[in-house]
Structure 1
Amino acid sequence: MRYSTKTQILSGSAIVAAGLLFSGAAMAQNVSIAFSASELGATAYNPVAASTLNTATSLIYDRLVEQDADQSYHPHLATSWEETADGMAWTFSLLEGVTFHDDTPFNAAAVQSWIASYAGTENEYLVEAIGSVDVIDDLTVRFNMDRPEPNLLYNLASAFMGIPSPTAFAELGDNFGVTAAVGTGPYELQSFEIGLETVLVRNEDYTWGSDLSENTGPGHIETFTFREIPDQSTAFLELRTGGIDLLLGVPTDFLQILEAEANIQIIQMPGVGISYMPINVTAPPFDNILVRQATGMAIDQEGIVAAIYNGVGAPAHNFLISSLPEANVDPALNVTYNPARARELLEEAGWVMGNDGVRVMGDERLTVRLYTANTTELTRLTQVVQAQLGEIGMEAIITVFDSSTIRDEYRNNTHQLAVRSYDWNNSDILDWFFSGNRLGYPNVSMWQDEEGQRLNDIAMTESSTSAERIANFTAYHEYVLSQHLFVPIYQPTQNIAFNSDAITVPDPVRGSRFRGQSFMDIQIVE
């Protein structure tokens, strides 16, 4: 089998030396990309078991179906599908002639093995409605459902449902996605330096791209180098000076500057997530719901959008992106800025204003820990949040962590408040961040609640139709909002910038995100 990938941790001098190898003619076949801040910190390219993935994943693995920007579903490794009237069985016809990077065949048996591999992982919820998988023939597979799942096609189009080689997955075990990552995608993993760089090389045998790409394969570009650059100012400067060709997440501060650059073009897409502040309900004083409610009312969402983001994007007032119907909750439950009421709530909770502007209760000061990750945009947002909390008498001490370490802090329950973001355009993100089964991370709020879990389970497992699912998730969302577990802040746009002297990118961009299908159409400018 072809397992050519190895994980390397390089010294600074080695990285510089390696970079020199791509000078001159070789550079013309390489496109360098900086990940967006929200994608930093992935520790493995294992879609089955990972809790965090990035854009490069979508080039290593294909999915059965793809989702377009208009939310429609398109065939990929599945050429067609049929659901029974009662929703209790789905039959998929599979694409012929597809092989994994290790030269093993993609077929119905591979799909059967793949679905089974989710058992016991954090991502099992994506397939838990599937009771069994029948291999009808080599290119036909049937999912026998334990219950109807109106969200199945969305799940199958997710980055967490890229299909790995069953052979490599079994042989590599816990090393799958670290020392090698084997899919059917248009690019193969050549090297993965955790926290630094991922290099993908073209799969020369690839001819089965989806109809979201004009080019169905092989890719136009020989090598994609994805870099992790936590300081977004550095990433911005590298784009301007030619160090990178494509920047997947452009801070809004830099949009106007880049728009003035003759060789830089910007693509703006609807956002698929929010920035928010989770509140640890197990950590005093936030075990008091009045303090949590006051904390939410201290944050000026509209002011932040205007001052930090120059009016680009929108204020967030609940946990879901505004395009989802489940975001249409009772307006009284939306979290809005009201500092006067916040001060009243803190007084009710027993916190009185001290002489130095920090509230006290007896000898205890209202001083709290505020965590964030080390990206330019998040740290700046956290500083503004700190100042706004100070306006109601809450002293927040900021600690900045790298993207991987901060998850360990959450799991160890050392946090009280945090500023973070997510990218996901489906209401089941509520299950991910608020289910009592996921305490620490991703349930950063550390919330366990009998009624909340009941509503979660109804929304996740008892929805027979799309309409029922919307109603159930709306009810769950409203209950989560009533418990004041987080503070919504900002709903960004997706801002992508590229050097138009170096590459061309597809216009318009297909899909809800700029990922594998878009990279297939990138070309070098001659």
Structure 2
Amino acid sequence: MRFATKTKLLSGTALITLGFLSTAALAQEASIAFASGELGATSYNPVTSSNLNSATSLIYDRLVEQDADQSYHPHLATSWEEAADGMSWTFKLKDGVTFHDGTAFNAQSVADWIPDFAETENAYLVGAVASVEVIDDLTVKFVMSRPEPNLLYNLASSFMGVPGAAAYDSMGEDFGVTGAVGTGPFKLESFSIGLETVLVRNDDYAWASDLSENQGAAHLERVTFREIPDQSTAFLELKTGGIDVLLGVPTDFLQILKAESNVTVIQMPGTGINYMPINVTAAPFDDIKVREATGLAINQEAIVASIYNGVGAPAHNFLIASLPEAEVDPSLNVSHDLDRANALLEDAGWVMGDDGVRIKDGAPLSVKLFTQNGTEFTSLTQVVQAQLADIGMQAEITVFDSSTIRDEYKNNRHQLAVRGYDWNNSDILDWFFSGERLGYPNVSMWKDEEGQRLNDVAMKDSKNSAERIANFKAYHEYVLSQHLFVPIYQPTTNIAYNSERVNVPDPVRGTRFRSQTVLDMTVVE
């Protein structure tokens, strides 16, 4: 009522000015569409979730940040020191940091947080931390059960955003769903699973990492992240102003977007692989010869040329090319070889039928080929289907949304699938091939004694970086020898934004589009 009374006293000119001010205030927001690989998150609990998205990093800060050149930068931790024997790490923490609920971030916050990982899927991230000691209010010490040369990488991951202990304990299983409390530059206002996430600015924020030019509160007041499963729809929304930023732009849209006068495209080095996991427990793929033949049927170079217009690179093993663990014995890399593929199938008893489909014991070589919705994945899957037909394998495609397809994996109802991952570290091998994670994320359903031994050595017995590289390379080579998947494509990371609406820093700092970029985003005046 007070506002209404006051409005009546304003002159016409003042009212017009007020209207402009209100519009400008409302305009300090942006709408961002997730990349297809980020769809389907059911919680913003970084401790327990196996699927997080870009919005997570805006809610929670991390102790350490990683830049695109793989270097590590202080954030909530201002400095760190590793003991010479690798058996302890000491972190100095930033002063004056508070959680969204007003509680202080300090050494006790870290000590309360690390034990929460126990018995979760993400426990491996702190598996080498035996205990956490509070030295003083701003100094914390990790006492290690073994050396962990990968600790800084782990601490920089989205899964290690630091939640507020009080809220985490009081909300229980609802934490990350009905509410989420971190120290990040934005607060969670609402979360509609499968639809959108709305974040509002943390006005008290004053502790950004040096990956951001802006060290204070974000320029944007509100950010809405939308889930748009169909990439063609997301593309049209960007063109017509329905969204301001599109993450994970499909490569086949790049030339079209670059021709739009109001659209700017940023390309970043890729941090993942598109591949086809093979369910080793489902016939006929319980036969290693059939698995190997399946891999040899895929022509990676032709796919890069035809679907991706030469952008990105063919993938011939499971790791991105920039990792030293990807430099395996060349004979183990998977490349197109139709003659050998057909010979292997003949040797396995699969005879070519008159209709071009192989037969064994009266049954056709007909398999299920799953994929998730989105233009890029469906287009890629159709090409894979055609290439499998060249060896007499009939693949029936089924398209699922990202949540449903995980249920299919967990219930072991799949044979082949076309999917991708986004992770720039060799421990992705543990995530997708450890026998302790059958169904999802171990979509290959592979449980192997020697494989698990090599996995455990790589994950737990590496005393330094050199040993870790050697151990993961050995594990990677063994995985390749078992033909558990078919590598297909190493994409670039493409971001497009409406340059008439927002400004996005270029180059994007960090390995991914995260909070450091959003902090520096502004609305076009």
Measured against the shorter chain, the TM-score band is: over 0.9
Q: Is the 8 A contact 2:295 2:485 kept in 1?
A: yes
Instruction: Give the whole-Å Cα distance in 2 for the aligned partners of 1:451 and 1:238.
Output: 49
Displacement of 1:508 in angstroms is 2.0
Matched, 1:323 2:322: yes
Q: Counterpart in 2 of 1:176?
A: 175
Equivalent position amino acid for 1:83 in 2: E
> After the TM superposition, which residues 354-503 of structure 1 pair with which residues of structure 2 at under 5 Å, given as runs?
354-503=353-502
Q: Counterpart in 1 of 2:80?
A: 81
CA deviations 1:326-346 (Å, max 9, x no partner) are 000000000000011111100
Q: Counterpart in 1 of 2:15?
A: none
Q: Is the 8 A contact 2:107 2:140 kept in 1?
A: yes
TM-score of the superposition, structure 2-length normalised? 0.95
Displacement of 1:507 in angstroms is 2.2
CA deviations 1:181-225 (Å, max 9, x no partner) are 110000001010100100000001100010000001200000000
Q: Is the 8 A contact 2:28 2:219 kept in 1?
A: no
CA deviations 1:222-243 (Å, max 9, x no partner) are 0000000111011111111111
Q: Is the 8 A contact 2:35 2:248 kept in 1?
A: yes
SS in 1 for 2:520: coil
Instruction: Give the whole-Å Cα distance in 2 for the aligned partners of 1:200 and 1:446.
Output: 37
Equivalent position amino acid for 2:206 in 1: T
Q: Is the 8 A contact 2:77 2:91 kept in 1?
A: yes
Matched, 1:140 2:134: no
Displacement of 1:174 in angstroms is 1.1
Instruction: Give the whole-Å Cα distance in 1 for the aligned partners of 2:318 and 2:27.
Output: 43
Instruction: Give the whole-Å Cα distance in 1 for the aligned partners of 2:507 and 2:284.
Output: 49
Q: Counterpart in 1 of 2:161?
A: 162
How many equivalent residue pairs? 504
Q: Counterpart in 2 of 1:347?
A: 346
Instruction: Give the whole-Å Cα distance in 2 for the aligned partners of 1:284 and 1:173.
Output: 42
Instruction: Give the whole-Å Cα distance in 2 for the aligned partners of 1:474 and 1:335.
Output: 16
Displacement of 1:253 in angstroms is 1.0
Instruction: Give the whole-Å Cα distance in 2 for the aligned partners of 1:497 and 1:328.
Output: 32
Equivalent position amino acid for 1:515 in 2: R
Equivalent position amino acid for 1:380 in 2: S
Instruction: Give the whole-Å Cα distance in 2 for the aligned partners of 1:370 and 1:407.
Output: 14
Q: Counterpart in 2 of 1:521?
A: 520
CA deviations 1:130-159 (Å, max 9, x no partner) are 000000111110000000000000000001
CA deviations 1:43-93 (Å, max 9, x no partner) are 100110100000000000000000011111100000111111000010001
Q: Is the 8 A contact 2:44 2:176 kept in 1?
A: yes
Q: Counterpart in 1 of 2:117?
A: 118
SS in 1 for 2:256: helix
Instruction: Give the whole-Å Cα distance in 1 for the aligned partners of 2:173 and 2:391.
Output: 48
Instruction: Give the whole-Å Cα distance in 1 for the aligned partners of 2:361 and 2:353.
Output: 10
Instruction: Give the whole-Å Cα distance in 1 for the aligned partners of 2:445 and 2:242.
Output: 41
Equivalent position amino acid for 1:176 in 2: F
Instruction: Give the whole-Å Cα distance in 2 for the aligned partners of 1:472 and 1:447.
Output: 19
Matched, 1:308 2:307: yes
Gaps of 5+ in 1: 1-22
Displacement of 1:358 in angstroms is 0.6
> After the TM superposition, which residues 166-245 of structure 1 pair with which residues of structure 2 at under 5 Å, given as runs?
166-245=165-244
CA deviations 1:304-327 (Å, max 9, x no partner) are 000000000000000000000000
Instruction: Give the whole-Å Cα distance in 1 for the aligned partners of 2:225 and 2:216.
Output: 20
Q: Is the 8 A contact 2:78 2:92 kept in 1?
A: yes
Q: Counterpart in 1 of 2:60?
A: 61
SS in 2 for 1:117: helix
TM-score of the superposition, structure 1-length normalised? 0.95
Equivalent position amino acid for 2:475 in 1: Y
Instruction: Give the whole-Å Cα distance in 1 for the aligned partners of 2:294 and 2:45.
Output: 37
Distance change in 2, residues 1:27/1:393 (3 Å): farther
Equivalent position amino acid for 2:159 in 1: F
Matched, 1:96 2:112: no
Gaps of 5+ in 2: 1-21
SS in 2 for 1:520: helix
Displacement of 1:27 in angstroms is 4.6
Deviates more, 1:305-314 or 1:355-364: 355-364
Instruction: Give the whole-Å Cα distance in 2 for the aligned partners of 1:118 and 1:134.
Output: 17
Matched, 1:267 2:266: yes
Equivalent position amino acid for 2:281 in 1: T
Instruction: Give the whole-Å Cα distance in 2 for the aligned partners of 1:82 and 1:525.
Output: 42
Equivalent position amino acid for 1:172 in 2: M
Q: Counterpart in 1 of 2:27?
A: 28
Equivalent position amino acid for 1:276 in 2: Y
Instruction: Give the whole-Å Cα distance in 1 for the aligned partners of 2:41 and 2:27.
Output: 28
Equivalent position amino acid for 2:70 in 1: Q
Equivalent position amino acid for 1:419 in 2: V
Instruction: Give the whole-Å Cα distance in 1 for the aligned partners of 2:38 and 2:295.
Output: 26
Equivalent position amino acid for 1:367 in 2: S
Displacement of 1:175 in angstroms is 1.0
SS in 2 for 1:509: coil
CA deviations 1:420-448 (Å, max 9, x no partner) are 00000000000000000000000000000
Instruction: Give the whole-Å Cα distance in 2 for the aligned partners of 1:280 and 1:167.
Output: 42
SS in 2 for 1:368: strand
Instruction: Give the whole-Å Cα distance in 1 for the aligned partners of 2:359 and 2:198.
Output: 53
Instruction: Give the whole-Å Cα distance in 1 for the aligned partners of 2:127 and 2:340.
Output: 44
Equivalent position amino acid for 2:364 in 1: R
